[in-house]
């Protein structure tokens, strides 16, 4: 390969709100327990954004980290993609606010919205295609401020989520973390197992619906999501490994969407990986949606879990039902 043609990640960044909420705090709000949450999900605590923080504040903090890590500034960007289910406003997209906040040039800036927790890895693949076709430097952000939009009285969902943002700059560079293969898919027939159904044209916002709290009701068939997640992440990951002609044993680390420890362990077992190969931080941050993979990848690198030359597998799933996997060489 000609030097400089390698396309991949030029830098990573993350932002985690300061406030830590322990499981015990939920017991005062809903009928639950620290033991139930730990046993069923592996989650021990999560971060909650401050009242004066919004989605774009968090996105900008992670983006600035990724730019600095890349040795770039916002002026160098050719495109911005934000993956989020919890946008700054309904219209326009969060990426427009982020472009203004960063002082980036008047480049295309758009959201991969409502793609659930699989959005960030899919956005990385879109960015790769854009970098390949036009030598662009693309900022990709995964950000969720789920605590602001979820129903704090629904124990089935509220204990699962946390707030965070993660970012990467994708482009050409000799030292880029190379994207070797990426796959993604959607099964729209399973859109009913996870989602937020109020606010669109099917059920527009109304005072009545708001009074009933319906705009915050995340619909979730936990068991169906669990089964689909394991099946889709495992099979999509096998595809990217096959694309490159490597095996699970060749992987230094698997960095999955941190939804639930039991899901992660089931995927690990399905793939035939070892506990040492699986990166887990769901105990600290809960499920942070599209921020979960970039935050985990950033943290794994920061804590020395990834070395130069390592093969690292990303895999995610989310409402849609969407899934996505990507193989990286550091
Ligand atoms: C949600 C999930 C943790 C539930 O775990 P589970 O082992 O499947 O538990 P079940 O659905 O069988 O529920 C068991 C009981 O716990 C109860 N329960 C649910 N949430 C609870 C909570 N926070 N505290 C205490 N009890 C709770 C349920 O009401 C149910 O009670 P019942 O048996 O009296 O009806 C699990 O299904 C899961 O993680 N699914 C994937 C969800 C996900 O990842 N969503 C986000 C995708 S991006």
Distance 117 CA to ligand 1 centre (A): 18
Distance CA 152, CA 87 (A): 19
Pick from 140, 171, 4, 190: nearest CA to 71 = 171
What does the pLDDT look like over 127-181, one tens digit per residue?
A: 999 999 999 999 999 999 999 999 999 999 999 999 999 999 999 999 999 999 9
* Predicted local distance difference test score (pLDDT) of residue 4: 57
Domain residue ranges in the chain: 7-176, 180-329
The atom of ligand 1 lying closest to the CA of 289 is: 48
Distance CA 63, CA 76 (A): 13
**Which phi and psi (to 5°) does residue 139 adopt?**
-85, 125
Q: Is the pTM of this model over 0.75?
A: yes
Q: How far is CA 265 from CA 50, 93, 207, 244, in A?
A: 32, 35, 43, 24
Mean pLDDT for the stretch of residues 211-219 = 89
Q: Are 58 and 145 in contact (CB under 8 A)?
A: yes
What does the pLDDT look like over 15-71, one tens digit per residue?
A: 999 999 999 999 999 999 999 999 999 999 999 999 999 999 999 999 999 999 999
Q: How many CA atoms lie within 13 A of 115 on its CB side?
A: 24
Work out the percent of the chain whose per-residue pLDDT is above 70.
99
Asked whether the domain spanning 180-329 has the same topology as the one spanning 7-176, the reply is yes
Distance CA 273, CA 126 (A): 28
Looking at domain 180-329, its CATH class is: alpha beta
Q: Are 325 and 201 in contact (CB under 8 A)?
A: no
CATH of span 7-176 = 3.40.47.10
Q: Is the CB of 287 under 6 A from ligand 1?
A: yes
Q: How confident is the model at residue 113 (pLDDT cuts 50, 70, 90)?
A: confident
Q: Which residue has the tokens 């959201």?
A: 111
Q: Is the CB of 32 under 6 A from ligand 1?
A: yes
Task: Catalogue the active-site residues.
Answer: 117, 257, 287
Q: Is the CB of 217 under 6 A from ligand 1?
A: no
Distance 295 CA to ligand 1 centre (A): 25
Longest dimension (CA), the chain: 61
Q: Which of 222, 232, 261 to mutate to test the pocket of ligand 1 (most atoms within 8 A of CB)?
A: 222
Q: Is the CB of 156 under 6 A from ligand 1?
A: yes
The atom of ligand 1 lying closest to the CA of 318 is: 48
Q: Are 241 and 282 in contact (CB under 8 A)?
A: no
Mean pLDDT for the stretch of residues 227-244 = 98
Residue 290, pLDDT > 50, answer yes
Q: Is the CB of 159 under 6 A from ligand 1?
A: yes
Q: How many CA atoms lie within 13 A of 262 on its CB side?
A: 11
Q: Is the CB of 117 under 6 A from ligand 1?
A: yes
The atom of ligand 1 lying closest to the CA of 317 is: 48
* Predicted local distance difference test score (pLDDT) of residue 1: 45
């Amino acid at each position: 390969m000609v030097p400089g043609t390698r396309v991949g990640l030029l830098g990573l960044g993350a932002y985690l709100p300061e406030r830590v909420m322990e499981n015990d705090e939920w017991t005062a709000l809903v009928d639950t327990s620290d033991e139930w949450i730990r046993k069923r999900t592996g989650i021990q605590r999560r971060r909650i954004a401050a009242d004066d923080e919004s989605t774009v504040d968090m996105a900008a903090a992670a983006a600035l980290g990724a730019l600095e890590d890349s040795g770039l500034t916002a002026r160098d960007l050719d495109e911005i993609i934000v993956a989020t289910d919890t946008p700054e406003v309904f219209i326009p997209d969060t990426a427009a606010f982020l472009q203004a906040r960063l002082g980036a040039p008047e480049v295309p800036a758009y959201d991969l919205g409502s793609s659930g927790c699989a959005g960030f890895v899919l956005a990385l693949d879109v960015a790769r295609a854009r970098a390949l076709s036009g030598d662009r430097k693309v900022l990709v952000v995964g950000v969720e401020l789920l605590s602001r939009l979820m129903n704090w009285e629904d124990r089935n969902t509220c204990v699962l989520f946390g707030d965070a943002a993660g970012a990467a700059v994708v482009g050409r560079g000799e030292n880029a973390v190379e994207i070797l293969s990426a796959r993604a898919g959607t099964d729209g027939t399973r859109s009913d197992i996870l989602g937020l159904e109020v606010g669109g044209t099917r059920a527009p916002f109304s005072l009545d619906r708001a009074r009933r709290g319906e705009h915050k009701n995340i619909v979730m068939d936990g068991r169906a999501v669990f089964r689909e997640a394991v099946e889709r992440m495992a099979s999509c990951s096998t595809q990217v490994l096959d694309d490159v002609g490597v095996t699970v044993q060749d992987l230094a680390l698997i960095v999955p969407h941190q939804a639930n420890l039991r899901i992660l362990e089931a995927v690990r077992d399905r793939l035939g990986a070892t506990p040492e190969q699986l990166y887990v931080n769901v105990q600290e941050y809960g499920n942070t949606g599209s921020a979960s993979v970039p935050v985990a990848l950033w943290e794994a690198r920061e804590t020395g879990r990834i070395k130069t030359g390592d093969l690292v597998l990303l895999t995610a799933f989310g409402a849609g039902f969407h899934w996505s996997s990507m193989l990286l060489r550091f």
